[in-house]
Amino acid sequence: MKTLTLLRHAKSSWDDPVARDFDRPLNAKGRRAAAMIGRQLKSLDFKFDHILASPAVRVMETLDEVWNGYGRRLEPVWDKAMYLASGASLLDLVHALPEDADHVLMVGHNPGLEDLTLDLTLDGELRERAEDKYPTATVAQMTLPITRWAEAQSNSATLIAFIRPRDLDPTLGPDTP
C-alpha cells in the first residue's frame, strides 16, 4: 500500500508586479492558509518520506509556511516538470517515484493536481468534494493498493482526506464582495 498526498500551493498575489508567473509570491491570506494546513497535517499525524515539488516561488513559499505550522522542515526534491503540469504528466512523475518511498507528498498547481486526484480515485463523497472545487492550499490524500509506484492507475485509489483551508477557518474561504 502506498499513500499519495497532493497539496495545491496557497493563494498567490496578483498585485505583485513580477515579470514571470513562475515568480509570483503568496499573499497574506495564502500564508495564513498554508500555516494552518501545516498545523492540521501535524495534528492528523501525516508523515512523508519523499516530497516532490514545483520550484515556482508560490510553491516554495507555501512549503515554508506549511513547515512553520507542521513544526518540522522537510526538504523536497524540486522538479520543474511539476510546474503547471497536466494530470497525465503528474501521473508519469508518480510512476517514477522512488520505490522505497511509501508516503509521498507532491506540491504543485491546478488544474493538474485536481485532474490527477480525479483520475486516480474511486467514486465517493470526498471525491465529489474534490470534483466540485480544489481550492488553493487544499490537501488531498489517497491510498493506492500497490507495492510499486509504476502500478498506479486510474480509478484505483481511495481518497481518505480532502482538507480545504476554509474547512478549518471560514475566513480562509472565498472572498466575499
Q: Hey, where are the domains in the chain?
A: 2-9+22-171
164 is in an annotated binding site: no
The pLDDT of residue 141 is above 50: yes
Please, which residues have CB within 8 angstroms of residue 118's CB and are 6 or more apart in sequence? 87, 127, 130, 131
Q: What are the two backbone dihedrals, phi and then psi, of residue 160, each rounded to the nearest 5 degrees?
A: -105, -15
Distance CA 168, CA 163 (A): 8
Cβ neighbours, 10 Å, residue 156: 16
What value does the mean pLDDT take over residues 89-95?
98
Quick one: what percent of the chain has pLDDT higher than 90? Answer: 90
Q: What is the pLDDT of residues 15-65, one digit of tens each?
A: 767 778 899 999 999 999 999 999 999 999 999 999 999 999 999 999 999
pLDDT band at 117 (very low <50, low <70, confident <90, very high): very high
Question: What CATH number was assigned to the domain covering residues 2-9+22-171?
Answer: 3.40.50.1240
What pTM value is reported for the model? 0.95
